[in-house]
A and B are shown apart, each in its own frame.
Chain A
Amino acid sequence: MSSPRVEVIERYCKGCSICVEFCPTKVLEMDAFLVKVAKPEACIACMQCELRCPDFAIKVFKD
Protein backbone atom coordinates (compact mmCIF):
# COMPACT_ATOMS: atom_id res chain seq x y z
CA MET A 1 0.00 0.00 0.00
CA SER A 2 1.31 3.44 -0.89
CA SER A 3 1.67 6.04 1.85
CA PRO A 4 -1.16 8.53 2.37
CA ARG A 5 -1.13 11.79 0.47
CA VAL A 6 -1.15 15.02 2.51
CA GLU A 7 -2.30 18.08 0.63
CA VAL A 8 -1.95 21.68 1.88
CA ILE A 9 -4.18 24.29 0.29
CA GLU A 10 -1.81 27.22 0.56
CA ARG A 11 -4.32 29.97 -0.11
CA TYR A 12 -6.33 28.84 2.96
CA CYS A 13 -3.43 28.15 5.33
CA LYS A 14 -2.96 30.90 7.93
CA GLY A 15 0.18 29.41 9.44
CA CYS A 16 -1.20 28.77 12.93
CA SER A 17 1.00 25.62 13.22
CA ILE A 18 -1.63 23.56 15.06
CA CYS A 19 -1.22 20.75 12.52
CA VAL A 20 2.56 20.77 12.86
CA GLU A 21 2.42 20.55 16.65
CA PHE A 22 -0.07 17.71 16.89
CA CYS A 23 1.20 15.49 14.06
CA PRO A 24 2.50 12.43 15.93
CA THR A 25 5.09 11.50 13.29
CA LYS A 26 6.43 14.98 12.46
CA VAL A 27 5.37 14.91 8.83
CA LEU A 28 4.76 18.65 8.77
CA GLU A 29 6.99 21.68 9.20
CA MET A 30 6.50 25.43 9.20
CA ASP A 31 8.11 27.19 6.28
CA ALA A 32 7.75 30.97 6.06
CA PHE A 33 4.34 31.02 7.81
CA LEU A 34 2.96 28.20 5.69
CA VAL A 35 2.89 24.50 6.25
CA LYS A 36 5.21 22.26 4.30
CA VAL A 37 4.79 18.49 3.98
CA ALA A 38 8.39 17.71 4.90
CA LYS A 39 8.24 13.92 5.46
CA PRO A 40 5.26 12.57 3.50
CA GLU A 41 6.46 8.98 3.86
CA ALA A 42 6.05 9.17 7.65
CA CYS A 43 2.32 9.90 7.48
CA ILE A 44 0.12 7.32 9.21
CA ALA A 45 -3.17 8.93 8.09
CA CYS A 46 -4.27 9.54 11.67
CA MET A 47 -6.16 12.67 10.53
CA GLN A 48 -5.08 14.73 13.56
CA CYS A 49 -3.90 17.55 11.31
CA GLU A 50 -6.99 17.65 9.11
CA LEU A 51 -9.38 17.49 12.08
CA ARG A 52 -7.78 20.37 13.98
CA CYS A 53 -6.99 22.70 11.11
CA PRO A 54 -9.35 25.66 11.66
CA ASP A 55 -9.02 26.71 8.03
CA PHE A 56 -9.91 23.72 5.81
CA ALA A 57 -6.31 23.98 4.62
CA ILE A 58 -5.01 20.44 4.99
CA LYS A 59 -6.41 17.20 3.60
CA VAL A 60 -5.25 13.64 4.00
CA PHE A 61 -6.06 11.02 1.36
CA LYS A 62 -5.49 7.42 2.32
CA ASP A 63 -5.11 5.67 -1.04
Chain B
Amino acid sequence: MAFDYDKYLRPGKLPHIWCPGCGHGIAMKGLIRAIDACGLEKNNTAIVSGIGCASRLPGYVDFNTLHTAHGRAAAFATGVKMAKPEMNVIVVGGDGDGTAIGGNHFIHACRRNIDMTYVIFNNSIYGMTGGQFSPCTPTGAKASTTVYGNPDPTFDISKLAIGAGATFVARTTAFHATQIDKLIAEGIKHKGMAVIEVLDDCPTTYGRRNKFRSVVDMMKRLKDIAVPVAAASKMTAEQLEGKVLTGVLYKEEKPEYTQQYAKVIAKAQGA
Protein backbone atom coordinates (compact mmCIF):
# COMPACT_ATOMS: atom_id res chain seq x y z
CA MET B 1 0.00 0.00 0.00
CA ALA B 2 1.25 3.48 -0.80
CA PHE B 3 2.71 5.15 2.27
CA ASP B 4 0.83 8.25 3.40
CA TYR B 5 3.54 10.94 3.54
CA ASP B 6 0.97 13.75 3.54
CA LYS B 7 0.29 13.21 7.20
CA TYR B 8 3.83 14.48 7.95
CA LEU B 9 4.19 17.16 5.27
CA ARG B 10 3.18 20.78 5.57
CA PRO B 11 0.32 21.34 3.15
CA GLY B 12 0.99 23.14 -0.11
CA LYS B 13 4.80 22.87 0.00
CA LEU B 14 5.29 20.39 -2.83
CA PRO B 15 6.90 20.22 -5.30
CA HIS B 16 10.02 20.79 -3.23
CA ILE B 17 12.92 22.93 -4.50
CA TRP B 18 15.37 20.06 -5.01
CA CYS B 19 16.52 19.37 -8.58
CA PRO B 20 15.26 16.42 -10.63
CA GLY B 21 16.79 13.24 -9.21
CA CYS B 22 18.35 14.90 -6.16
CA GLY B 23 18.88 12.21 -3.55
CA HIS B 24 17.78 14.51 -0.72
CA GLY B 25 14.14 13.78 -1.59
CA ILE B 26 14.71 10.03 -1.26
CA ALA B 27 16.44 10.52 2.09
CA MET B 28 13.67 12.82 3.36
CA LYS B 29 11.08 10.15 2.57
CA GLY B 30 13.16 7.59 4.48
CA LEU B 31 13.31 9.92 7.47
CA ILE B 32 9.52 10.34 7.42
CA ARG B 33 8.96 6.56 7.29
CA ALA B 34 11.40 6.12 10.20
CA ILE B 35 9.57 8.70 12.30
CA ASP B 36 6.31 6.95 11.50
CA ALA B 37 7.73 3.53 12.38
CA CYS B 38 8.97 4.88 15.74
CA GLY B 39 5.58 6.48 16.40
CA LEU B 40 7.10 9.84 17.33
CA GLU B 41 4.58 12.50 18.23
CA LYS B 42 4.82 15.67 16.14
CA ASN B 43 4.60 17.97 19.16
CA ASN B 44 7.36 16.12 20.93
CA THR B 45 9.76 16.07 17.99
CA ALA B 46 12.13 18.77 16.77
CA ILE B 47 13.86 18.68 13.39
CA VAL B 48 16.84 21.00 13.20
CA SER B 49 19.06 22.00 10.28
CA GLY B 50 21.75 24.47 9.24
CA ILE B 51 22.06 25.83 5.70
CA GLY B 52 22.31 24.07 2.35
CA CYS B 53 20.04 22.17 -0.02
CA ALA B 54 19.72 19.29 2.48
CA SER B 55 19.07 21.80 5.24
CA ARG B 56 15.91 22.96 3.47
CA LEU B 57 14.20 19.79 4.68
CA PRO B 58 12.63 21.21 7.87
CA GLY B 59 10.57 23.60 5.73
CA TYR B 60 8.61 20.67 4.32
CA VAL B 61 7.82 18.61 7.39
CA ASP B 62 5.15 19.25 9.99
CA PHE B 63 7.08 19.08 13.27
CA ASN B 64 8.74 21.64 15.53
CA THR B 65 11.41 22.78 13.08
CA LEU B 66 14.45 25.03 13.19
CA HIS B 67 16.31 26.19 10.08
CA THR B 68 19.37 27.81 11.64
CA ALA B 69 22.82 29.15 10.73
CA HIS B 70 25.26 27.35 8.45
CA GLY B 71 27.09 24.61 10.35
CA ARG B 72 25.31 25.32 13.62
CA ALA B 73 22.54 22.74 13.53
CA ALA B 74 24.16 20.52 16.18
CA ALA B 75 24.60 23.53 18.49
CA PHE B 76 20.95 24.60 18.21
CA ALA B 77 19.84 21.00 18.58
CA THR B 78 21.95 20.69 21.73
CA GLY B 79 20.15 23.74 23.09
CA VAL B 80 16.74 22.20 22.38
CA LYS B 81 17.71 18.89 23.95
CA MET B 82 19.17 20.51 27.07
CA ALA B 83 16.07 22.64 27.57
CA LYS B 84 13.68 19.78 26.84
CA PRO B 85 15.44 16.45 27.39
CA GLU B 86 12.19 14.52 26.83
CA MET B 87 11.95 15.79 23.27
CA ASN B 88 13.04 13.72 20.26
CA VAL B 89 15.69 15.79 18.50
CA ILE B 90 16.64 15.06 14.92
CA VAL B 91 19.28 16.98 12.99
CA VAL B 92 19.47 16.95 9.20
CA GLY B 93 22.01 18.57 6.91
CA GLY B 94 24.64 18.23 4.25
CA ASP B 95 28.26 17.12 4.22
CA GLY B 96 29.42 20.73 3.90
CA ASP B 97 27.21 21.99 6.68
CA GLY B 98 28.15 19.14 9.02
CA THR B 99 31.85 18.54 8.31
CA ALA B 100 33.27 21.82 6.95
CA ILE B 101 31.90 24.93 8.65
CA GLY B 102 30.04 22.79 11.20
CA GLY B 103 32.72 20.17 11.77
CA ASN B 104 33.46 21.35 15.29
CA HIS B 105 29.84 21.31 16.42
CA PHE B 106 29.44 17.89 14.87
CA ILE B 107 32.40 16.25 16.62
CA HIS B 108 31.56 17.77 19.98
CA ALA B 109 27.94 16.63 19.83
CA CYS B 110 29.41 13.16 19.14
CA ARG B 111 31.89 13.48 22.00
CA ARG B 112 29.17 14.42 24.48
CA ASN B 113 26.99 11.52 23.40
CA ILE B 114 23.92 13.71 23.62
CA ASP B 115 20.70 11.91 22.76
CA MET B 116 19.92 13.05 19.24
CA THR B 117 19.73 11.56 15.75
CA TYR B 118 21.93 13.28 13.18
CA VAL B 119 21.12 12.35 9.58
CA ILE B 120 23.82 13.63 7.28
CA PHE B 121 23.07 13.77 3.56
CA ASN B 122 26.46 13.28 1.96
CA ASN B 123 26.42 14.23 -1.71
CA SER B 124 30.19 14.98 -1.71
CA ILE B 125 29.74 18.65 -2.60
CA TYR B 126 28.34 22.07 -1.65
CA GLY B 127 25.23 21.72 -3.77
CA MET B 128 23.42 24.90 -2.85
CA THR B 129 26.18 27.34 -3.67
CA GLY B 130 27.13 25.87 -7.04
CA GLY B 131 29.41 22.92 -6.43
CA GLN B 132 32.41 24.00 -4.38
CA PHE B 133 34.36 21.05 -2.97
CA SER B 134 33.60 19.88 0.55
CA PRO B 135 35.71 17.81 2.95
CA CYS B 136 33.78 14.83 1.54
CA THR B 137 34.59 15.41 -2.13
CA PRO B 138 36.58 12.40 -3.36
CA THR B 139 40.27 12.97 -4.10
CA GLY B 140 40.66 13.69 -7.80
CA ALA B 141 37.01 14.70 -8.31
CA LYS B 142 36.02 17.93 -10.02
CA ALA B 143 34.23 20.73 -8.24
CA SER B 144 33.84 24.39 -9.20
CA THR B 145 36.83 25.08 -6.93
CA THR B 146 38.89 22.05 -7.97
CA VAL B 147 38.79 22.29 -11.73
CA TYR B 148 42.04 20.31 -12.07
CA GLY B 149 40.80 17.60 -9.70
CA ASN B 150 40.60 17.68 -5.91
CA PRO B 151 44.04 17.30 -4.31
CA ASP B 152 42.61 16.83 -0.78
CA PRO B 153 42.10 13.57 1.08
CA THR B 154 38.46 12.90 1.99
CA PHE B 155 36.66 12.73 5.32
CA ASP B 156 34.95 9.45 6.10
CA ILE B 157 32.00 10.88 8.06
CA SER B 158 31.11 7.62 9.77
CA LYS B 159 34.68 7.05 10.96
CA LEU B 160 34.84 10.67 12.08
CA ALA B 161 31.67 10.17 14.13
CA ILE B 162 32.95 6.94 15.69
CA GLY B 163 36.31 8.52 16.49
CA ALA B 164 34.63 11.53 18.06
CA GLY B 165 32.50 9.38 20.36
CA ALA B 166 29.08 8.87 18.75
CA THR B 167 27.56 5.69 20.15
CA PHE B 168 25.45 4.66 17.12
CA VAL B 169 26.88 5.09 13.63
CA ALA B 170 25.35 3.71 10.44
CA ARG B 171 25.63 4.30 6.72
CA THR B 172 23.48 3.69 3.69
CA THR B 173 22.79 5.26 0.30
CA ALA B 174 19.91 6.87 -1.54
CA PHE B 175 19.70 3.76 -3.71
CA HIS B 176 19.04 1.57 -0.66
CA ALA B 177 15.78 3.31 0.14
CA THR B 178 14.34 0.83 2.64
CA GLN B 179 17.60 0.70 4.58
CA ILE B 180 17.38 4.47 5.11
CA ASP B 181 14.28 4.21 7.28
CA LYS B 182 15.47 1.09 9.11
CA LEU B 183 18.78 2.69 10.13
CA ILE B 184 17.26 6.05 11.05
CA ALA B 185 14.63 4.25 13.16
CA GLU B 186 17.39 2.35 14.95
CA GLY B 187 19.21 5.61 15.50
CA ILE B 188 16.09 7.28 16.92
CA LYS B 189 15.62 4.42 19.37
CA HIS B 190 19.26 4.54 20.46
CA LYS B 191 19.87 6.50 23.66
CA GLY B 192 22.81 8.74 22.80
CA MET B 193 24.32 10.39 19.75
CA ALA B 194 23.26 8.50 16.61
CA VAL B 195 24.77 9.42 13.26
CA ILE B 196 23.29 8.06 10.06
CA GLU B 197 25.23 8.92 6.93
CA VAL B 198 23.18 8.72 3.74
CA LEU B 199 25.35 8.81 0.63
CA ASP B 200 23.30 10.52 -2.04
CA ASP B 201 23.69 12.37 -5.32
CA CYS B 202 23.81 15.94 -6.54
CA PRO B 203 23.37 15.56 -10.29
CA THR B 204 23.38 19.33 -10.84
CA THR B 205 26.70 20.38 -9.36
CA TYR B 206 28.60 17.10 -8.93
CA GLY B 207 27.24 14.66 -11.51
CA ARG B 208 27.65 16.79 -14.58
CA ARG B 209 31.23 17.79 -13.65
CA ASN B 210 32.25 14.21 -12.94
CA LYS B 211 31.15 12.45 -16.11
CA PHE B 212 27.91 10.95 -14.89
CA ARG B 213 25.61 10.85 -17.88
CA SER B 214 22.45 10.87 -15.79
CA VAL B 215 20.88 10.67 -12.38
CA VAL B 216 20.35 6.98 -13.02
CA ASP B 217 24.13 6.54 -13.48
CA MET B 218 24.67 8.17 -10.11
CA MET B 219 22.12 5.85 -8.50
CA LYS B 220 23.78 2.82 -10.09
CA ARG B 221 27.12 3.89 -8.69
CA LEU B 222 25.63 4.10 -5.19
CA LYS B 223 24.31 0.58 -5.68
CA ASP B 224 27.70 -0.70 -6.85
CA ILE B 225 29.92 0.82 -4.18
CA ALA B 226 27.83 -0.28 -1.18
CA VAL B 227 28.92 -3.41 0.67
CA PRO B 228 26.98 -4.55 3.76
CA VAL B 229 29.28 -4.87 6.80
CA ALA B 230 28.57 -8.59 7.16
CA ALA B 231 29.56 -9.29 3.56
CA ALA B 232 32.69 -7.13 3.88
CA SER B 233 34.16 -9.36 6.58
CA LYS B 234 34.44 -12.13 3.98
CA MET B 235 36.08 -9.94 1.34
CA THR B 236 39.74 -9.21 0.66
CA ALA B 237 41.26 -5.72 0.81
CA GLU B 238 41.48 -5.83 -2.97
CA GLN B 239 37.80 -6.63 -3.36
CA LEU B 240 36.96 -3.78 -1.00
CA GLU B 241 38.92 -1.20 -2.98
CA GLY B 242 36.62 1.73 -3.82
CA LYS B 243 33.70 0.30 -1.83
CA VAL B 244 31.93 1.75 1.21
CA LEU B 245 30.55 -0.25 4.11
CA THR B 246 26.83 0.03 4.79
CA GLY B 247 24.64 -0.95 7.72
CA VAL B 248 25.27 -0.43 11.43
CA LEU B 249 28.98 0.33 11.69
CA TYR B 250 29.18 0.96 15.43
CA LYS B 251 26.96 0.69 18.49
CA GLU B 252 27.67 0.92 22.18
CA GLU B 253 25.86 1.97 25.36
CA LYS B 254 27.47 4.86 27.23
CA PRO B 255 26.28 7.56 29.65
CA GLU B 256 24.11 10.07 27.83
CA TYR B 257 24.77 13.79 28.17
CA THR B 258 21.42 15.20 29.35
CA GLN B 259 21.28 12.49 32.03
CA GLN B 260 24.83 13.29 33.14
CA TYR B 261 23.97 16.96 33.21
CA ALA B 262 20.88 16.32 35.33
CA LYS B 263 23.27 15.00 37.99
CA VAL B 264 25.23 18.25 37.84
CA ILE B 265 22.01 20.21 38.35
CA ALA B 266 21.02 17.99 41.28
CA LYS B 267 24.45 18.49 42.91
CA ALA B 268 24.38 22.24 42.37
CA GLN B 269 20.96 22.35 44.03
CA GLY B 270 22.41 20.49 47.01
CA ALA B 271 20.51 17.25 46.49
CB-defined interface of A1-29 with B at 8 Å, one 1/0 digit per residue?
00000010001101111100110000000
Known contacts A51-B29, A61-B1, A21 near B219 by CB under 8 Å? yes
| Beta-carbon nearest neighbor of B219 in chain A | A18
CB-defined interface of A26-59 with B at 8 Å, one 1/0 digit per residue?
0000000000000000000000001111111001
Q: B14 and A12: CB pair below 8 A?
A: yes
- B84 contacts chain A at the CB level, 8 A cutoff: no
A62 to B14, CA, bound (A): 24
A53 to B20, CA, bound (A): 10
Contact residues on B (Cβ < 8 Å of other chain), bracket: 20 to 34
| Beta-carbon nearest neighbor of A60 in chain B | B2
Distance (Å) between the CB of A29 and the closest chain B CB? 14
B22: chain A residues at CB < 8 Å are 54
**Chain A contact residues, majority secondary structure:** loop
Q: A18 and B5: CB pair below 8 A?
A: no
Known contacts A50-B2, A56-B14, A61-B1, A21 near B216 by CB under 8 Å? yes
CB-defined interface of B1-29 with A at 8 Å, one 1/0 digit per residue?
11101000100001110111111111001
| Beta-carbon nearest neighbor of B220 in chain A | A21
Known contacts A12-B14, A17-B215, A54 near B25 by CB under 8 Å? yes
A53 to B15, CA, bound (A): 12
Distance (Å) between the CB of B162 and the closest chain A CB? 28
| Beta-carbon nearest neighbor of B214 in chain A | A17
Q: B20 and A50: CB pair below 8 A?
A: no
B216: chain A residues at CB < 8 Å are 17-18, 21
B9: chain A residues at CB < 8 Å are 56
Known contacts A11-B15, A17-B216, A55 near B25 by CB under 8 Å? yes
A37 to B138, CA, bound (A): 38
A21 to B24, CA, bound (A): 19
Q: B15 and A55: CB pair below 8 A?
A: yes
| Beta-carbon nearest neighbor of A45 in chain B | B1
Q: B2 and A61: CB pair below 8 A?
A: yes
Q: B5 and A52: CB pair below 8 A?
A: no
A55 to B60, CA, bound (A): 12
Can you sample 30 A-B contacts with CB below 8 Å? Answer: A7-B2, A12-B15, A14-B15, A15-B20, A16-B20, A16-B215, A17-B21, A18-B215, A21-B219, A50-B2, A51-B26, A51-B177, A51-B178, A52-B177, A52-B219, A53-B25, A53-B26, A54-B21, A54-B24, A54-B25, A54-B26, A55-B15, A55-B16, A56-B5, A56-B9, A56-B14, A56-B29, A61-B1, A62-B1, A63-B1
Which B residues contact A (CB, under 8 angstroms)?
1-3, 5, 9, 14-16, 18-26, 29, 174-175, 177-178, 214-216, 219
Which A residues contact B (CB, under 8 angstroms)?
7, 11-12, 14-18, 21-22, 50-56, 59-63
